[in-house]
Amino acid sequence: MLKALKSLFDRSGEDQPTEHSVEVAAAALLIEVGRADYESDADEQKAIIEAIRLGSGLEDGELESLVASAQESAERSTSLYEFTTLINAQYSMDEKFVLIKTLWRVAAADGDIHRYEDHLIRRIADLLYVPHSDFIRAKLEVLGT
């Protein structure tokens, strides 16, 4: 009986953060913003890949693996919380601000920020405890206004 209870709580390696788990979480958020308006746009996809490449510094093979992991995580996810929790635990406020700016770049890549994209980035910023003033400042910096 005791062994059965212990095995429920000791998953011996399961759900342990992988080397790139926070990068996968950030990439999954980028993917979520890219598909928030229900349109697949080539410019947004390029912006997502470029943001992941710059943010991770990975080689092409590793980058493809990270993007595939992020895509899979985004598709099976039922909430943003699993991604934002990892990011909150490991990112500084400055890094969170840069992430929000990157989310805005992805949303603006197709020349139009859809209201669903705006709403999603606002929710992500709230979950990351980014102040509203920084949320707006990031948007204005990306839009150049």
What whole-number distance in Å separates Cα of residue 105 and Cα of residue 21? Answer: 22
- State pTM to two decimals: 0.81
CATH number at residue 116: 1.10.3680.10
Ramachandran area for residue 114 (φ above 0: left; ψ -120 to 50: alpha; else beta)? beta
CA angle (67 as vertex; 99, 141 as ends), nearest 5: 25
Output the CA–CA distances (angstroms, integers) from residue 69 to 21, 87, 121, 123, 130, in the order listed. 9, 16, 21, 23, 26
pLDDT in tens, 54-88: 877 777 788 888 888 888 888 888 899 999 999 99
- Kindly state whether residue 31 falls inside one of the protein's structural domains: yes
CA-nearest of 134, 104, 94, 99 to 25 is: 99
Does the pLDDT value for residue 19 go beyond 50? no
CB 25 within 8 A of CB 86: yes
- Kindly state whether residue 4 falls inside one of the protein's structural domains: no
What is the extent of the structural domain holding 133?
21-143
User: What's the structural domain count of the chain?
Assistant: 1
Does the pLDDT value for residue 112 go beyond 70? yes
- Kindly state whether residue 40 falls inside one of the protein's structural domains: yes
- Kindly state whether residue 77 falls inside one of the protein's structural domains: yes
- Kindly state whether residue 135 falls inside one of the protein's structural domains: yes
